[in-house]
Amino acid sequence: MLLKHRFFFVRLLPASFLAPAFMLACTQTPIAESDAALMAQRRIGSTPDSAGYQRKAPQDPNGIGKYYMGRQIAHVMGHEASGWLERPDRQQEEGTDILLRALKLKPTDVVADLGAGTGYFSFRMSSLVPKGKVLAVDIQPEMLDKLRATSTKLHVTNVEPVLGTVRNPNLPANSLDLVLIVDAYHEFDHPREMMRAVRNSLKPGGRLALVEYRAEDPKLTIKRIHRMSEEQARREMEAVGLKFVQNDKSLPQQHLLIFQRQ
């Protein structure tokens, strides 16, 4: 939010991804991100397997040595840096209120916040679906503990914590109106398996809202590996049977890509 943020896989993280240096770790610098530096690291390669995965030396030190459909998967943030998710300027910086309006949720919708972290979006969506519920999925128990504490503090009863795995979000089949993934997908260790499970969790006609920083925008200071292009995202979602519907361009820095289960 599962990147800077959000889907928190259990892995030993480099120190650069822990608060308070986390924002620096996600911010692009000319030296770290130069094409020459990236090309110099392209040494060991392998042929992608039938699922689209490939193992080779990281082209970017902020990524792991695993690629999916040509895209290097990024390291993820642990619960130690969860304060980043609740930063005071997040609404203004990302246009989170714009995003919530663009989702066009109905009061009875059942939605999932995949890579929920502390529940930043889970709790904001909960008031929009008073007759429905929000399944807040994360794989770190520490994040779900924080989420439960917030539920108790705010007296929220329609946010349900769900402990997922790196391959399966553990969502009920054919039951969701919407799955929201904010700045987390590019960090999934097993994106193909995860998105197949997401597709199966959606009702026919159910939607996926994929939010990622725009790789096409040269003005963004977010590191290249923490951004995705529309083209790449569409390729990966369509590979698991999700149909592209819309690129809502209302957010200041991110794609809001809508896909649908047919």
Instruction: Report pTM.
Output: 0.83
The pLDDT, as a whole number, for residue 251 is: 97
Sequence-ordered alpha helix ranges (H) in 84-218? 90-94, 96-102, 120-126, 141-154, 191-201
- 87-133 pLDDT, tens digit per residue, is 788 888 999 999 999 999 999 999 999 999 999 999 999 999 999 99
3-class secondary structure per residue, 122-143: HHHHHCCCCCCEEEEEECCHHH
Q: Measuring CA to CA, how many Å separate 15 from each of 30, 212, 246?
A: 21, 23, 37
> With a cut of 70, which residues of the chain have pLDDT below it?
1-46, 77-84, 86
Identify the domain containing residue 85 by its residue range: 1-262
Asked whether the beta carbons of 208 and 259 are under 8 A apart, the reply is yes
The pLDDT, as a whole number, for residue 82 is: 54
Q: Which residue has the tokens 């361009």?
A: 249
CATH number at residue 188: 3.40.50.150
- Maximum distance among all alpha carbons in the chain? 54
The domain tally of the chain equals 1
253 φ, ψ (degrees, to nearest 5): -130, -15
